Amino acid sequence: SQTIHQWPATLVQPVGSPLSLECTVEGTSNPNLYWYRQAAGRGLQLLFYSVGIGQISSEVPQNLSASRPQDRQFILSSKKLLLSDSGFYLCAWDRDRSLALHFGNGTRLTVT
Amino acid sequence: AQSVSQHNHHVILSEAASLELGCNYSYGGTVNLFWYVQYPGQHLQLLLKYFSGDPLVKGIKGFEAEFIKSKFSFNLRKPSVQWSDTAEYFCAVNAGNYGQNFVFGPGTRLSVLP
């Protein structure tokens, strides 16, 4: 069966520091991968998605970037964190036309 | 652009009470509809989905939802809630065939009192 791993679960970083959140999927090949940010009372906002290695689409211009160095690995990064980057970040995957997103456990990021 | 609204931010019920969480979307074409649930400390998981056919769909744990096209609604129901149903519930719409077309509602937090 397929599983998705996301780490770390929580992270506290100072303003201006770099960020790297990692997500990996097991048990499937060539998944579509997504990064979402969940804000209280505002649902989930799609940040990035990827349909293949090295292919990244950005939905919202911001201080973050994403990369997909391997088929089942998706990384969310920042060179310099801002206070406004604090939030709950979720990784998800699906297969084309399956229309069922599968989410990781999320990372709670606090920028101080 | 599509949007999804959920009627209540926080619902508090006693065990055995009936539940209905409202969800409305704005999109004039064909849509696929979903309810996701996030239990405390756990990941978001799919509760049920509607693609076509019978507008009354049944999901896990006794939940069901009814798609009413004329009202652009997809309300979630459960006849008798349990304490273990305490969670946050998200309605979502997908008007395309790809995951990047998902639009999520703001969520409704359900607290069930024992």
Q: What is the pLDDT of residues B11-62, one digit of tens each?
A: 999 999 999 999 999 987 888 999 999 999 888 999 999 998 999 999 999 9
Average pLDDT over residues A8-21: 96
Distance CA A86, CA A11 (A): 10
Task: Name the minimum distance, in Å, from the CA of B33 to any CA of chain A.
Answer: 10
Answer yes or no: are the C-beta atoms of A43 and B4 closer than 8 Å: yes
Average pLDDT over residues A16-40: 93
Distance CA B95, CA A83 (A): 34
Tell me whether residues B105 and A34 touch, CB distance under 8 A: no
pLDDT given for residue B30 in this prediction: 84
The proportion of chain B whose per-residue pLDDT surpasses 90, expressed as a percent, equals 75
Instruction: Tell me the CA distances in angstroms from B41 to A35, A102, B37, B38, one per residue in order.
Output: 19, 16, 12, 8
Q: Residue A97 pLDDT more than 80? A: no
Q: Residue A98 pLDDT more than 70? A: no
Classify residue A55 as exposed, middle or buried by CB count within 10 Å of its CB (0-12, 13-18, 19+).
exposed
Q: Which of A34, A42, A104 sits opposite B99 (nearest CB)?
A: A34
Answer yes or no: are the C-beta atoms of A99 and B99 closer than 8 Å: yes
Mean pLDDT of chain A: 91
How do beta strands B56-58 and B64-68 pair? antiparallel
Q: CB under 8 Å to A42, separation ≥6 — which residues?
A: B106
